[in-house]
Structure 1
Amino acid sequence: MAEQVRAIRTRQAILSAAAKIFEERGYQSSTISEILTAAGVTKGALYFHFQSKEELAQGVLAAQDQNLVLPDRASKIQEIVDIVMLHTYRLQTDPMVRAGVRLTMDQTAQGLDRSGPFRSWAAPVRARLEKAQAQGELLPHVVPAETADVLVGTYAGIQSMSQALSDYQDLVVRVTALLRHLMPSIVQSSVLTSVDMSESRAAHVYAEAVAYSQVPADAEEAAVAAG
């Protein structure tokens, strides 16, 4: 039991160190040696969990999908806004998420499959657009799969612009502007009047997600202890 907990903590330390190095230096310039030094672990310990730099990067990409769940809303458009706002808050506050996004957007990362996060971002948006369409929230011309890709792609550009200009300090402002411009082109006006796209929504949704998900900081360790 203690060994399992120790292994979990070592893996988390390695991922945190890798996230820091990848965010600072990018995938191509980062080295296993730098990550070892930052993590304070042996080469054997690192290779027990990750066989290569690419596996480490994929671990960081996967780690940004923290197990936070939002409650169902009557409006599926509000759910989409809340997904966007939750990611926005985490991008501003969570180093692992920032590193994952840096890797996802790193076009110089040779040999690294960066497609996973785009698909994982688009899938829940598409599912909710389909539900929104079924209950009459969308304008007639909307194709959910197409619109989901447009939303994910434009968000990727907005966050990249925010990172370059303000290190994400103005991200909530920019994302709110994006939603105000995009949503009227896909959502029925009668629905849009009741959707909260305010700047304060990001922090509110994050707090709600943490409370609703009831995920303790040491969730993995608790699972191990429970057998």
Structure 2
Amino acid sequence: MAEQVRAIRTRQTILMSAAKVFESRGYQAATISEILTAAGVTKGALYFHFQSKDELAQGVLSEQDQRIVVPERASKIQEMADTVLLHAHRLQVDPLVRAGVRLSMDQQPGLDRSGPFLRWGEISTEMITKAQAQGELLPHVVPAETADVIVGAFAGIQSMSQAVSDYADLPGRVSALLRHLLPSVTMPAVLASLDLSDTRGADVYAEAVKILEAQDAEPDAGIKTPTA
């Protein structure tokens, strides 16, 4: 058990260090040597977990969404908005997320960047489809199409925010994005109940972390309940 815990911690250390190097240097410029130095581990320890720089990058891309998730909401449109707003907040505070976004947006050859976009599209389509089944959406909505628009628009907004303010203004920009997009797909009565404020992402983050800590303390506790 102790060895397993140590291996998990070593893997997390490597991923976090790789994330910081990828964020600052980009995929092409980053080297295994830099990541080893940042992580403070041996080459053998790194290659035990990741066989190449590409595997490290894919690990960073997949790890960013594994643990901190939006609690289930009664309104699936609110749940989808919370997912977007949470991601915007995490871009400000989480090196793994920032590195994952840089890798996703990096147009240099040598890395398959499609995974995050496809995953976000699938997640958004699922929530929008559930919202449609609950009568939250206007009749013309095609869930997969709306999901693609939201994912693509968010990618552009975060890229603009990174360029002009290093993500300092991202929550406000994402709040504005949702306030402009959602009226075109959401029933007016549902729209009026949504919280799309620029502080919502930070609030959802605090809520998600609290639930995660409770689950870690009591793994079998049933604490995930729908909220407004």
Question: 1:12-31 deviations in whole A, cap 9, x for unaligned?
Answer: 11111111110001000111
TM-score, length-normalised on structure 1? 0.91
Q: How many angstroms does 1:215 deviate by?
A: 4.8
Aligned mates of 2:215, 2:165 — CA distance in 1? 31
User: 1:43-62 residue pairs with structure 2 within 5 A?
Assistant: 43-62=43-62
How far 1:199 sits from its partner (Å)?
A: 1.3
1-side partners of 2:68 and 2:102: how far apart?
21
1:187 aligned residue:
186
Identify which range, 206-215 or 58-67, moves more after superposition: 206-215
Q: Does 1:211 align with 2:210?
A: yes
Greater alpha carbon shift after TM alignment, 185-194 vs 65-74: 65-74
Q: Distance in 2 between matches of 1:39 and 1:207?
A: 28
CA distance in 1, matches of 2:12, 2:143: 36
Shift of 1:121: 1.3
CA distance in 2 between counterparts of 1:83 and 1:97 reads 13
The residue matched to 1:41 in structure 2 has which SS? coil
Residue 72 of structure 1, CA deviation: 2.6
* Aligned positions of 1:1-227 closer than 5 A: 1-108=1-108, 110-213=109-212, 214-216=214-216
In structure 1, stretches of 5+ residues that fail to align are 220-227
Counterparts of 2:132 and 2:8, CA distance in 1: 42
| CA shift digits 1:90-126 (9 cap, x unpaired) | 1111011100111011011x22111111122122211
What is the CA-CA distance between 1:167 and the residue it aligns to?
A: 0.5
Cα shift at 1:207: 1.2
Q: For each residue in 1:127-167, what CA deviation from the matched residue of structure 2 results, as whole angstroms up to 9, or x when unmatched?
A: 11111111221111110001001100100110011011100
Report if aligned partners of 1:180, 1:197 keep a CA contact under 8 Å in 2.
yes
* Secondary structure of 2:207's aligned partner: helix
Identity of aligned residues (%): 71
CA contact (8 A) 1:69 1:212 kept: no
Q: State whether residues 36 and 46 of structure 1, in contact with CA within 8 Å, keep that contact through their aligned partners in structure 2.
A: yes
1:68-103 alpha-carbon deviations (Å, 9 max, x no partner): 233332211111111111111111110111001110
Shift of 1:216: 4.2
Residues 29-73 of structure 1, C-alpha deviation per residue, up to 9 Å, x if partnerless?
111111111111111111111110000000111110132233332
Q: Over aligned residues, Cα RMSD in angstroms? A: 1.6
| Alignment: residue pair count | 217
Tell me if structure 1 keeps the 8 A contact 2:85–2:201.
yes
Contact 1:81/1:197, CA 8 A, preserved across alignment: yes
Equivalent AA in structure 2 for residue 144 of structure 1: P
CA displacement at 1:2 relative to structure 2: 2.2
Query: Structure 2: where are the runs of 5+ without partners?
Result: 220-228
Q: Which residue in 1 is equivalent to 2:225?
A: none
- The CA deviation string for residues 171-216 of structure 1, in whole angstroms up to 9 with x for no partner, is 0010001001101111111210111101121111111112233354
TM-score by length of 2: 0.90
The range that moved more, 48-57 or 38-47, is 38-47
User: 1: CA distance between counterparts of 2:156 and 2:164?
Assistant: 12
Distance 1:34 1:111 in 2: 18
Give the letter aligned to residue 194 of structure 1. Answer: S
